[in-house]
Structure 1
């Protein structure tokens, strides 16, 4: 009986945590796909994708295309690094 209760609690905890992880995974998949497309022609692709994903996570959008179109996402457009230059590729 005790094993059944432990197994039930473990299964319940697993189901509960999986329901919380699904929305976070969906958001990161969106950002990954959009940033891979945006950075496909970048010279330093890994760096471009890294900063794009940071911006996407905060702004929840990525402009279309590989360059420009930042008017589509004002938050993405307006983020600056510590030197005052655009943070998002």
Structure 2
């Protein structure tokens, strides 16, 4: 068996790594570009978080802090419970987000 030079080995290893990288990128692109099923399409609806959070936080004693926290929660969940407080059951995702300290994140 003929000996393969170090530079040839490096080229072969580089080609293998590049091909694996391309394969992973193509696979990831296919996962992102697949059409969501009917059960997922309702989860992907976008709402106007600014307006929803303004309405939710209009009576807050700290409206800027409330709107910032609400906006973060709204972006993650695409949902804001109706009213200025409570009604957490209307948006379970929004209600389930917590801080590192275990307190409810969303107003």
Both proteins in one fold, TM over 0.5: yes
Partner residue in 1 for 2:106: 88
RMSD: 1.0
Residue 62 of structure 1 and its aligned partner are, at CA, apart by: 0.1
Task: Give the TM-score of the pair, scaled to structure 1.
Answer: 0.68
For 1:1-89, list aligned pairs within 5 A: 27=46, 30-89=48-107
Compare relative contact order (CA 8 Å, sep 6+) and give the higher one, 1 or 2.
1
Residue 64 of structure 1 and its aligned partner are, at CA, apart by: 0.1
Q: Which has the larger radius of gyration?
A: 2
More helix by share: 1
| Structure 1 unaligned blocks of 5 or more | 1-26
Partner residue in 1 for 2:37: none
> What is the aligned residue count?
62
